[in-house]
Amino acid sequence: TNVLAKIKIFDAYARWVGHLYESMLALVKIEDQNSVSENSKSDVTDPEIQCEAQKSLNRFNALVKSGEINPDGHVSLTLDGEFASDLRKARNKCSFHCTNNRVQSEILQEFMSKHHHMAYWLYSEMLNLHGNIDSECDKDLGAINQFFSVSRRALS
């Protein structure tokens, strides 16, 4: 019933959806086997994100079939044909808006109702597959490294 709590919960879920979208977008942009580039629009990126979600669902089903995941302990996953476009729309219309007329709460609620379990599986799988980047990555991160260097000097 606390107004601030309601705002924080909505914002946290909207940001989580936005983070998942950006992670999936990064995944399809770095994948060499598709035609997504830095300048690709949603007509190109949405089908690739949908394809990656389908691959993830296939891996989940294979784990269930092999007995590595107990189906009694998990919600059965389904992938709606509009998952990728709904994920993008929720990210675009619900994250990081500070005015009431810009926030599209029905979009976020619809996304949660239709896609939450699949989204959570994707998030969990991505975290498990790519969550240890700091121990693996020795590449120059460009602007990220520059920001880190400048911010360290500014805070010293």
pTM of the model as a whole:
0.79
Long-range Cβ contacts of 115-121 (<8 Å, 24+ apart)? 115/80, 115/83, 115/86, 115/87, 117/75, 117/77, 118/53, 118/57, 118/77, 118/78, 118/79, 118/80, 118/83, 119/17, 119/20, 119/87, 121/56, 121/57, 121/60, 121/77
What does the pLDDT look like over 112-140, one tens digit per residue? 999 999 999 999 998 887 665 555 556 67
What pLDDT does 100 receive?
62
pLDDT tens string 38-78 = 888 888 889 999 999 999 999 999 999 999 988 887 788 99
